[in-house]
Chain A
């Protein structure tokens, strides 16, 4: 009797561990790609080199990712201090423009939906971002309107920043990683 109970517990535990760990790694990339500050590059979605986890994620959530030929995608779920991004706070995303013909910056909630301004804008991009004389820019990420480059973020709860670099000479390998802007937490209730 005791043996059967232990066996049952062991089976439940291994099933839970196996499916749980698989789900965790499929849901979002946590390991195995390069990081720059708080940013992590997304794994390749190229048919020849995609990892089994990427294949499973694409199949499960219907994601159409950016092929390596077009550019690189980076995401951040925390600030430079390692704290989780929070929709109740203001963040300054500042630095020089990454080397790319075009870059776009978007904030999304847990369901992947982008926050929008009342005017229907979802992103800050390299064509419209205001810069100072030295080419540096500061984007203020906040749930309600801010002066300057305002990136709308989902109100309340955590969010994810996605930075896409189109036509960039950088690559997702350690020796050719791009320089990316810092994410600094400002006002927080």
Chain B
């Protein structure tokens, strides 16, 4: 009886350890995280339009709302801060910034942007310090995001349920910029 109990406790303890190791180990061995998935759709350093449920045969990344037309940009800050710029039609839109692991870090929607277009500069600590020291005039109306990591993913989503607006929305996604803009 006591021996059986000892075995049972042993099984539970080892199962617990295996559980923890599995949960924390998965992110280190992931090959299908958002970073890799977006790489499979298009190149780094510019917005690529993501396939949309019901309209494309290719499967979009999981978790996206099929009512939104979306474009994603993988970026890294090696070439200076990244300027994200777009002008969307007057419908709901949002910009989400994800870290290298696909976790949400920062977001903005059309109301928070005050009805203006999208104009965001993603900059590292060093860049932000440089900008404070010597603020360029053209950056006065821009939203500056202090980015901790080296890499990230920008996701631009525009609410696209109105058929009449679809061409305009597709054009806005196609023209969205995700460019390194080195500080002079």
B105 and A60 contacting across the interface, CB-CB below 8 Å: no
Contacts A/B (CB < 8 Å), 7 sampled: A21-B15, A58-B27, A60-B26, A61-B32, A64-B102, A67-B96, A167-B109
From A46, A63, A66, B61 is in contact (CB under 8 Å) with: A63
- Tell me the bound Cα distance from A47 to B32 in angstroms: 18
With A45-B103, A61-B32 already in contact, the answer to whether A122 and B66 are too (CB < 8 A) is: yes
Pair B27/A59 contact, Cβ less than 8 Å: yes
Binding site for A on B (CB under 8 A): 7, 10-19, 21-24, 26-27, 30, 32-34, 36-37, 53-55, 59, 61-67, 72, 92, 94, 96, 98-99, 101-109, 111, 153, 155, 159, 161-162
A70 at the interface (CB under 8 A from B): yes
Report which of A6, A58, A122 forms a contact with B7, defined as CB distance below 8 A.
A6
Report Cα–Cα, A54/B61, bound state, in Å.
16
Helix, strand, loop or mixed for chain B's interface? mixed
> Do residues A56 and B27 form an inter-chain contact, with CB atoms below 8 A?
yes
A10 touching B104 by the CB < 8 A rule? Answer: no
Please determine whether A70 and B103 come into contact, CB atoms closer than 8 angstroms: no
Considering only CB atoms, which chain A residue lies closest to B28 in the complex?
A59
- Neighbouring A residues of B30 by C-beta, 8 Å: 59-60
Q: Is A59 a contact of B102 with CB atoms below 8 Å?
A: yes
Distance (whole angstroms) from the CB of A98 to the closest CB of chain B? 15
Q: List residues of chain A with CB under 8 Å of any chain B CB.
A: 6, 10-11, 13-19, 21-23, 25-26, 44-47, 50, 52-56, 58-70, 101-102, 104, 106, 112-114, 116, 120-123, 125, 127-128, 164, 166-167
| From A16, A21, A45, A106, contact of B66 by CB (8 A) | A106
Kindly identify which residue among B59, B103, B106, B108 contacts A58, using a CB–CB cutoff of 8 Å: B103
> Known contacts being A52-B24, A101-B111, is A14 close to B18, with CB within 8 Å?
yes
Contact B107 A64 (CB under 8 A): no
Find B23's partner among A16, A26, A45 (CB 8 Å cutoff): A26
Q: Is the CB of A10 within 8 A of B7?
A: yes
CB-CB under 8 A for A18 and B18, given A70-B94, A120-B54: yes
B14 and A45: CB pair below 8 A?
Answer: no
User: Is the CB–CB distance between B7 and A46 below 8 Å?
Assistant: no
Q: Which residues of B contact A70 (CB under 8 A)?
A: 94, 96, 107, 109
